């Protein structure tokens, strides 16, 4: 075997090991259940597909590296396919791929917490309430929902003029204006006690934003971790959840403001189960849901700490 084929065999072997390393890392996440910290459940089929593909490609690369016949490695095209560059450069390139594998096995898996929420910011309720997009037409207490209902075409035109980018959550919010939320509001109108679960979290938050006045005075039961904005009063805290659409990179923080004299007793990142009377309050120029606390219980971090949009 000539030098070029030896070089190709060596690099094929290294690439095969890297691919199998990623496969083992994905398999470890799946078997341990820690994959829930990184991707949404609907993405699991893609994870299984990637796992199988990486294993196949890794095995193929290793088998290719063990071939003894020069003609099986050399494509006879007359070009030099050996990896060029100094040994240090080659080590640096492979380190880029090896480092995530090592860190994946070494670093502890941890749910997103209040430190991440502080960097990303909290969307109160379902996140559809905002400051006025046009001060001449929309008052400070008017929500996106009200603006949409008054003038749908003008509402979306104003979004196009004032916002250059939309997150996945924004597109989901736009879907919140459809008939589904009208029907859900009708189903909820006789409920004096509204229980927010992992499955209906974003749906309930959207309904409360779109039809907030209909539910003021009802009891709201919700679970989340404690978070505080720097400007909060001592009697204020947020019960928050991270919502994930595809993976941890797009996770957004949704929270409900709670007021109680007991607020100072609970540190950030404490998971709590809260029940209280639903109200609304003005926060930085727009109306958001508010819970007047009746009952709060410290709980363990749930098995699935994130919530997910239903896209129904």
Domain final residue pick, 106, 136, 166: 106
Q: Report yes or no on 96 lying in a domain.
A: yes
Ranking 5-9, 117-121, 145-149 by mean pLDDT, the lowest is: 145-149
Kindly state whether residues 62 and 167 are assigned to the same domain. no
Q: Report yes or no on 312 lying in a domain.
A: no
Kindly state whether residues 56 and 178 are assigned to the same domain. no
Residue 210 has a pLDDT of 81
The answer, yes or no, to whether residue 312 has pLDDT greater than 80, is: no
Kindly state whether residues 167 and 84 are assigned to the same domain. no
Output b/e per residue, 191-226; b: 16+ Cβ within 10 A: eeebebeeebbbbbbbbbbbbbeebeebbbbbbbbb
Ranking 19-33, 46-60, 175-189 by mean pLDDT, the lowest is: 175-189
Domain final residue pick, 106, 135, 152: 106
Tell me the chain's radius of gyration from C-alpha atoms: 26
Per the structure, how many domains does the chain have? 2
Kindly state whether residues 138 and 246 are assigned to the same domain. yes
The answer, yes or no, to whether residue 175 has pLDDT greater than 80, is: no
Residues 241 and 306 sit within 8 Å (Cβ to Cβ):
yes
d(CA 80, CA 14): 19
Residue 176 has a pLDDT of 40
Kindly state whether residues 20 and 74 are assigned to the same domain. yes
Residue 166 has a pLDDT of 40
pTM over 0.75: no
SS3 state at 82: coil
The answer, yes or no, to whether residue 236 has pLDDT greater than 80, is: yes
Q: Domain limits at 193?
A: 114-307
What digits encode the pLDDT tens for the residues 264-298? Answer: 999 999 999 999 999 988 887 778 889 999 999 99
Kindly state whether residues 74 and 150 are assigned to the same domain. no
The mean per-residue pLDDT over the stretch 161-171 comes to 43
Taking each helix axis as running N to C, give the angle between helix 201-210 and helix 179-188, from 0 to 180 degrees, rounded to the nearest 10.
Answer: 90
Kindly state whether residues 29 and 128 are assigned to the same domain. no
Phi, psi of 121 (to 5 degrees): 85, 155
Q: Report yes or no on 167 lying in a domain.
A: yes
Q: Read off the pLDDT band of 78 (50, 70, 90).
A: low
Q: Report yes or no on 260 lying in a domain.
A: yes
Kindly state whether residues 158 and 207 are assigned to the same domain. yes
Kindly state whether residues 186 and 223 are assigned to the same domain. yes
């Amino acid at each position: 075997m000539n030098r070029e084929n030896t070089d190709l065999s060596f690099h094929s072997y290294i690439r095969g090991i890297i691919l199998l390393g990623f496969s083992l890392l994905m398999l470890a996440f799946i078997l341990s259940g820690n994959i829930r910290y990184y991707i949404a459940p609907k993405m699991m089929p893609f994870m299984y597909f990637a796992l199988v593909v990486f294993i196949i490609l890794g095995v193929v690369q290793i088998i290719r590296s063990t071939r003894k016949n020069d003609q099986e490695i050399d494509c006879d095209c007359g070009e030099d396919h050996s990896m060029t560059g100094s040994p240090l450069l080659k080590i640096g390139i492979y380190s880029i791929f090896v480092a995530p594998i090592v860190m994946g096995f070494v670093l502890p898996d941890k749910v997103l917490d209040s430190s991440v929420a502080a960097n990303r910011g909290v969307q109160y309720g379902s996140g559809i309430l905002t400051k006025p997009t046009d001060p001449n037409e929309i008052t400070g207490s008017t929500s996106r929902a009200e603006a949409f209902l008054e003038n749908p075409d003008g509402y979306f035109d104003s979004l196009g003029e004032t916002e250059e980018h939309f997150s996945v959550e924004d597109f989901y919010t736009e879907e919140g204006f459809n008939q589904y939320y009208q029907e859900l509001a009708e189903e909820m109108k006789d409920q004096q006690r509204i229980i927010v679960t992992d499955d209906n979290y974003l749906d309930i938050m959207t309904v409360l934003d779109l039809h907030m006045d209909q539910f003021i005075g009802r009891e709201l039961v919700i679970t989340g971790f404690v978070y505080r904005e720097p400007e909060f009063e001592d009697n204020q805290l947020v019960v928050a959840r991270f919502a994930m659409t595809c993976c941890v990179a797009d996770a957004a923080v949704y929270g409900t403001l709670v007021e109680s004299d007991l607020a100072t007793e609970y540190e950030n990142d404490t998971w709590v189960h809260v029940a209280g009377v639903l109200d609304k309050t003005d926060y930085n120029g727009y109306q958001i849901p508010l819970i007047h606390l009746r009952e709060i219980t410290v709980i363990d971090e749930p098995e699935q700490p994130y919530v997910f949009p239903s896209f129904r």
